[in-house]
Amino acid sequence: MSVQQNNYDPSAVGVKGSIFGLPFGEEDSKIVIVPVPWDATVSYAAGTADGPQAILDASTQLDLEVVGKDAPWKQGIWMEPIDRDTRAKSQKLRLSVEPYIEALEAGEEYPNAKEVISAIDEGTTAIKSQLKRKILGYLNKGKVVGLLGGDHSTSLGYLEALSEKHEDFGILQIDAHMDLRRAYEGFEHSHASIMYNVLKLSSISKLVQVGIRDFCEEEVSVTKSDSRVAVYFDQELKWQQFEGTTWQFLCNEIVAQLPDKVYVSFDIDGLQPSLCPGTGTPVPGGLSFEESVYLINQVKSSGREIIGFDLCEIAPQAKDKEWNANVGARVLYALCGVV
C-alpha cells in the first residue's frame, strides 16, 4: 500500500484530480475508468465530449458510504487521464458536421456530404479500434472497465473487446432511445446506431432495453426481426406501476431476460430529464435515480456477473453544468458498486 493510501481518509474533503478523490493508481485498482471525450456524431445538442471532465470535477463532492454493503471505493477505482488529442479530434470533426446536420434538418442538399460522412466514419473507426486495443489490455490484466463517454457510439470498441473475452453475454441498456438506426444521418458509427452495430456481434445473446420512449419505425422493425431484443417501454412500465405492479416485480421480469454475464450500457437520458437537463436528446418520462440503481443492483443480486459498463451522454451545459455532472458522478459510483 502506498503512502498516499495509508494517509487516505474517506471522510475528509475530496481532493480534486482523481476520480472520487481516491488515492489509487492503475495497479492497485480493480476498476479502471476509461474516459472518452468524443461527440462527433451527436445529432441534436453537442457537449457530451465534456462529460468526463465534468464528472471528474464533480466526483470529489460525493460521500462514499452506501446503505447495506461495503463502499465501492474499497475495491480500488482509478480513472485514466483524459486524452486531450481525442477531445481535439472530436471537436474538429464536430465543426465539420454541424453545417451538414443543419442542411439535413432544413431539407436541403449539402454539397460536401460525402466528404463529411467519410471523414466522420474514418474518425469513429479509428477511435473504436483505439479503444478496443486499450480495453483489451486492461481486460487481460484482470481489470473491470467502465467506459465514460462522450456520446453513446464510443461503447462499440469496448463491446468488441468483451466479445473476444466472452463467448456469450447480454446487455442491459438503460436509455430513452433504442439506438437501432442503421447509419443514422449517413454515419456508420452514429450514437443513434450503437445497438444496431452491437447486434452484429455473435457473442451478444440478449439486448434488454429499459426506459425507451423515443423511437422510429426503422428501429421497431429491428426489434421485431431479432428475437435477441427485448424492449421495456417507459410508458408501459409506468402504466403497470400506476395499476399496482411493483417496481420489484418489473425488475425481476427484466433481469430474468438476461444471461449469466451482463454488460450495463447506461445512457444518462434514460433518467428523468430533471436529472440530466444538459444531455443531448432529453425526453420526458424516464427512470428516477433510485429506480435505475435498484435495477442494476437486482442484476447483481440475481447472481449474474456484471462484466463491464458504460455511462454516456452527460453534457455539462450552461447553468445546469454542476447538476448534470453531480448526477452522472453518482450513477458512475453506483455502477462501480455492482461489478
Task: Give the domain CATH number at 91.
Answer: 3.40.800.10
Residue 270 lies in a domain: yes
Digit-coded pLDDT (tens) for 291-339: 999 999 999 999 999 999 999 999 887 667 789 999 999 999 999 999 9
Query: What value does the mean pLDDT take over residues 233-242?
Result: 98
- Provide the domain limits for residue 102: 25-336
Residue 204 lies in a domain: yes
Q: Kindly give, in sequence order, each residue whose CB lies less than 8 Å from that of residue 217, ignoring residues fewer than 6 positions away.
A: none
C-beta atoms surrounding 186 within 10 Å:
16
Confidence of residue 4 (pLDDT cuts 50, 70, 90): low
CA distance 94 to 191: 13
CA distance 289 to 323: 13
Confidence of residue 43 (pLDDT cuts 50, 70, 90): low
Query: What value does the mean pLDDT take over residues 142-146?
Result: 98
Predicted pLDDT at 25: 96
Residue 20 lies in a domain: no
Number of structural domains found in the chain: 1
Out of 74-78, 118-122, 136-140, 267-271, least confident range: 118-122
Residue 4 lies in a domain: no
Residue 15 lies in a domain: no
Cα angle, residue 266 at apex, residues 90 and 42 outer, rounded to 5°: 30
Per the DSSP assignment, residues forming a β-bridge with 33 are: 79, 146
Confidence of residue 3 (pLDDT cuts 50, 70, 90): very low
Mean residue pLDDT of the chain comes to: 93
Single-letter code of the amino acid located at 337: G
Three-class secondary structure assignment of the chain: CCHHHHCCCCCCCCCCCCHHHCCCCCCCCCEEEEEECCCCCCCCCCCHHHHHHHHHHHHCCCCCCCCCCCCHHHHCEEECCCCHHHHHHHHHHHHHHHHHHHHHHCCCCCCCHHHHHHHHHHHHHHHHHHHHHHHHHHHHCCCEEEEEECCHHHHHHHHHHHHHHCCCEEEEEECCECCCCCCHHHCCCCHHHHHHHHCCCCCEEEEEEEEECECCHHHHHHHHHCCCEEEEEHHHHHHHHHCCCCHHHHHHHHHHCCCCEEEEEEEHHHECHHHCCCCCCCCCCCECHHHHHHHHHHHHHCCCEEEEEEEECCCCCHHHHHHHHHHHHHHHHHHHCCC
Digit-coded pLDDT (tens) for 96-133: 888 888 888 899 988 888 998 898 899 999 999 999 99
Residue 10 lies in a domain: no
Residue 235 lies in a domain: yes
Confidence of residue 1 (pLDDT cuts 50, 70, 90): very low
